[in-house]
Amino acid sequence: MGVKFHNDIYFTGVPGLKGFEHMKIAIIRGDGVGTEVVAEGLNVLEAAAAQTGFTYSLTEFPIGGQRYLDQGGNPAAPSIPVVTDKEIDELRSFDAIFLGAVGHPDIAPGIIEKGMLLKLRFELDQYINLRPVTLFPGVTTPLANKTPEDIDFLVVRENTEGLYAGSGGVLREGTQHEVSTQEMISTRHGAERCIRFAFEQAVARKAAGYEGKVTLVHKTNVLTFCGGTWKRAFDAVAAEFPDIKPDYNHVDACCMYMATTPESYDVVVVPNMFGDIITDLGAAIAGGMGMAASGNLNPDPAANSVSMFEPVHGSAPDIAGQGKANPVAAVCSLVMLLDQVGHITNDAAAIETAKKIDAAVRTTCAALSGQRMDRLEQSTAQVGEMIIAAL
């Protein structure tokens, strides 16, 4: 069956980037279950690569909440860098980043999220957050009477702007006269490049038998300023793709359709905050957070950047260290990494490895059939072993 979400338009014909010999992968295990699922991902990668002849190197970056604390970072307020500028520059020289999850229960909300995850997404200009919503055969969905045929779409989330841009502030904090703002920032450039990527995905998917449709999800009836910018960008890009059907849903209606008629979606393009929300819903209908993969992409081959692949789930402190996390989401993120970067670098063995792991994950999911994928009775390591056995 293979992996369907890479984009041949962007991702072929640019070999030799960064003096390519073998794939150089930066590893950020992070915190909590991040470390556990990355370990399984790397076991699977090693076993699959032995079969395909794929060659790669791994370089560890011990970035995360734990390091922040170990280095004396203040858990209550940002004090030292979570990731340094030097590290960000080093990361640019890699072909890909494989990230587990970051976040620490002893650190106040926002410090690690803004100081590391969002910082990397913004500094590396990873303007696409690619989040497939794919129900694998055998996996239980909470939606009655829906099958893998029905739940198979691609969310293209804008990843550098919107409510995440960090514009705003608070005055008279802690008083009865407290005032805060959190502004939604949309640029025509930011919307347009994201929408164009979505249309290109739809072209590639149409060639693979999908409908060929892009649905813009926004709230243009209320957010008339930012919504207007997105709609104007959408209409302009849609005009460049006469073979792709343009469509529009308000975000509230989108949530309803995802639960009632997910088969109506092919490619969804959505600003940052709405994309964050609907992709948790997407994960839920495709079997839970243990299944959801993502890629933070800078698809521009000329940019001095690197893409970062991570499961959608977080560090899950409540189950960390117990071997309870499902590693499938991380393994599927690795599949996306191999496929996307393999196309950039014309690395046939990487693409072959992606296909092999993808097939093994599907076999494993079918074998786990009947269980809730985020409450497996098998341990993290046992699921990894099942995937390796299925290779």
Query: Taking the alpha carbons of 104, 105, 108, 109 in that order, is the dihedral positive or negative?
Result: positive
- The site partner of 113 among ligand IPM, Mn ion, none (C-beta below 5 to 8 Å per kind) is ligand IPM
Q: What track of x and - describes contact with ligand IPM for positions 57 through 96 (by CB under 6 A)?
A: ----------------------------------------
Least separation in angstroms between CB 312 and Mn ion: 6
Binding segment for ligand IPM among 20-28, 35-43, 113-121, 240-248 (CB under 6 A)? 113-121
Contacts with ligand IPM: how many residues (CB under 6 A)?
5
| Chain centroid to CA 28 | 15
**Rounded distance between C-alpha atoms, residue 127 and residue 295, angstroms:** 10
Classified as helix, coil or strand, 287 is: coil
In whole angstroms, what is the distance from residue 297 CA to residue 118 CA? 13
Q: Does 117 bind ligand IPM (CB under 6 A)?
A: yes
Which residue number, 113 or 150, has a Cβ lying nearer to ligand IPM?
Answer: 113
Q: Which does 347 bind (CB under 5 to 8 A by kind): ligand IPM, Mn ion, none?
A: none
CA–CA dist 81, 67 (Å, integer): 10
Give me the least distance between CB of 310 and ligand IPM, in Å please.
7
Task: Collect all residues with Cβ–Cβ distance below 8 Å to 222 and sequence separation of at least 6.
Answer: none
Where do the H-state alpha helices sit in 16-105? 33-52, 65-70, 85-91
Only one of the segments 44-52, 274-282, 298-306, 324-332 lies at the binding site for Mn ion (rule: CB under 5 A); that segment is 274-282
Q: In whole angstroms, how close is the CB of 222 to Mn ion at the nearest point?
A: 22
CB of 228 closer than 8 Å to CB of 191: no
Compute the radius of gyration of the chain from its Cα atoms: 20
What is the nearest approach in angstroms of Mn ion to the Cβ of residue 267? 19
Shortest approach of ligand IPM to residue 119 CB, angstroms? Answer: 10
- How far, in Å, CA of 198 to CA of 229, rounded? 17
Q: Which of residues 287-316 bind Mn ion (CB under 5 A)?
A: none
Considering the rule CB under 5 A, would residue 276 count as an interface residue with Mn ion?
A: yes
Which of Mn ion, ligand IPM, none lies near 383, with the C-beta cut-off 5 to 8 A by kind? none
By three-state DSSP, how is residue 358 classified?
helix
Number of residues that bind Mn ion (CB under 5 A): 1
User: Which residue has 């991380």 as its token pair?
Assistant: 330
What letter does residue 170 receive in the DSSP assignment?
E
- Rule CB under 6 A: choose which of 31, 276, 347, 352 binds ligand IPM: 276
> What does the block give as tokens for 273?
């905050």
3-state helix vs strand vs coil in the chain, percent to 5: 45, 15, 40
Segment interacting with Mn ion, rule: CB under 5 A, options 257-265, 272-280, 328-336, 337-345: 272-280
Judged by CB, which is closer to ligand IPM: 117, or 202?
117
Of 153 and 199, the one with the shorter C-beta distance to ligand IPM is: 153
- Tell me how long the chain is: 391
Residue with CB nearest ligand IPM?
A: 113
Residue with tokens 């295990």, as numbered in its chain: 29
Is residue 281 within 8 Å of 260, Cβ to Cβ?
A: no
Site string for ligand IPM, 282-321 (x = CB under 6 A): ------------------------------x---------
- Identified binder of ligand IPM from the candidate list 22, 78, 113, 146, rule CB under 6 A: 113
DSSP 115: I
Q: How many CB atoms lie within 10 A of CB 161?
A: 22
What is the set of active-site residues?
164, 219, 252, 276, 280
Contact footprint for ligand IPM (CB under 6 A): 113, 117-118, 276, 312
Contact footprint for Mn ion (CB under 5 A): 276
